[in-house]
Homo-oligomer: A and B are copies of this chain.
């Protein structure tokens, strides 16, 4: 898509002060500005950027709130040194694994169930707090649609699904670096159905699928049920999939598809740079291998412009872009979508015969919210909250966990990937934490071969509370115990 359109799209979504704060944050994260460095004065910065002094001040205030810079009396602003800045990235695998079947290790159900159980501190399932989501507003929208269009709410919303929502998605796709049309989308029952249909469309039982390692445990479950094998490719903690390893793996293996999370990876948090996205899309297209792109965290960058999708670099319609509103609006509404490129007809038929239709009112309510309900404002609110929560969690972990841990630095989403000392068995930690009413996700869930034994994923989707603070203290204590 033309660069101008993208610039416009970005401008409309982010106020200028946030764009500026994003640029500064990136400079801090990338160490162009280091802890202890003095920031330009507000006056200088406003002149450099050609913005008003209040705008420049807002940008600084936003960084200060998030603990990235600090004001020192009579000296101006300085980049803050945080303990958590010193922690290293979690280890990532460097050699290519073998093709694997799946061990049937599955605390998934207890993690999901614990999330809905108020007894548990919800650090397990990857879900935002209901308090951050517009639940009542969406329910009111359903009510008003039901009154306005009594029969529409009762009718089947058959595939491809709500045209209103598909139009909104098409409009928003400019912001993803794409220029999709309403007819390029099929609405699905959440992200799970999108990925499941995508895999069914492009594979046969017995086929091998490239996955990242670590990767979202839901993928492993789907692959297992479809009797697919996984070929895990290492990812880098900041840039995502290792392209050399990918190239090597493709030389020696017959692969039917790849399933990737380029934007704010679950659990690693990394963001694949645009040039990597382009390279991956081209490499796989050349070999005729479709890519299933999971973009469910794409809208959740902590600051700065929304990243492009890998689909933006799709040369021939072989990228099946899957996403959902579950992480940003309402998990229980089950409103997801797929832009299946050249596999559209196949996905349409599979949707027809798998679930036929989506729940109509939830889909229409999401469409109305995205169109008229202040979706962009809501997103900014979420981005800010998650950025803050992730940072608080990082600080708390670094203060209470043993020194030699590794910890991810997500630029988006609300998940932390934590490497614990080698001796720590995270399944044992999972059990002991659960006994203390704390839910965490053990590392082996994110592996296709039982690896990541000393890793956990921690959900930061909930506003910081003394209970969460205490729970991190308890977790830290348990980790110390198990590390002995």
Q: Could you say which of B130, B154, B193, B361 contacts A155, with CB atoms under 8 Å apart?
A: B130
Q: How far is the CA of A455 from the CA of B361 in the complex (A)?
A: 35
Q: What is the chain B residue whose CB lies nearest that of A145?
A: B139
Q: What is the chain B residue whose CB lies nearest that of A194?
A: B355
A157 to chain B, nearest CB (A): 6
Interface residues of chain A: helix, strand, loop or mixed (majority):
helix
Tell me if B355 and A355 are in contact (CB < 8 A).
yes
Tell me if B113 and A158 are in contact (CB < 8 A).
yes
A72 at the interface (CB under 8 A from B): no
Tell me if B156 and A116 are in contact (CB < 8 A).
yes
Q: Could you say which of B115, B147, B189 contacts A355, with CB atoms under 8 Å apart?
A: B189
In residues 84-119 of chain A, which contact B (Cβ within 8 Å)? Answer: 108-109, 112-113, 115-116
Q: How far is the CA of A83 from the CA of B171 in the complex (A)?
A: 58
Tell me if A355 and B192 are in contact (CB < 8 A).
yes
Number of chain A residues close to chain B: CB under 8 A: 60
Tell me if A353 and B222 are in contact (CB < 8 A).
yes
Tell me if B330 and A357 are in contact (CB < 8 A).
no
Tell me if A155 and B116 are in contact (CB < 8 A).
yes
Tell me if A332 and B361 are in contact (CB < 8 A).
yes
In residues 128-153 of chain A, which contact B (Cβ within 8 Å)? Answer: 130-131, 133, 135-136, 138-140, 142-143, 145-147, 150-153
Tell me if B153 and A135 are in contact (CB < 8 A).
yes
A150 to chain B, nearest CB (A): 5
Tell me if B189 and A189 are in contact (CB < 8 A).
yes
Given contacts A154-B130, A359-B362, A360-B333, contact A354 B139 (CB under 8 A): no
Q: Could you say which of B113, B356, B362 contacts A218, with CB atoms under 8 Å apart?
A: B356
Top-6 shortest CB links A-B = A139-B146, A332-B360, A130-B151, A359-B359, A192-B356, A189-B355
Instruction: List residues of A whose CB falls within 8 A of some B CB.
Output: 108-109, 112-113, 115-116, 127, 130-131, 133, 135-136, 138-140, 142-143, 145-147, 150-158, 189-190, 192-193, 196, 205, 218, 221-222, 224-226, 326, 330-334, 349-350, 352-362
Interchain residue pairs with CB less than 8 A apart (23): A108-B352, A109-B352, A115-B155, A116-B155, A130-B151, A130-B154, A131-B151, A133-B154, A135-B153, A138-B146, A142-B142, A142-B143, A153-B332, A156-B332, A157-B332, A192-B354, A196-B353, A196-B354, A221-B349, A221-B353, A222-B353, A225-B350, A332-B359
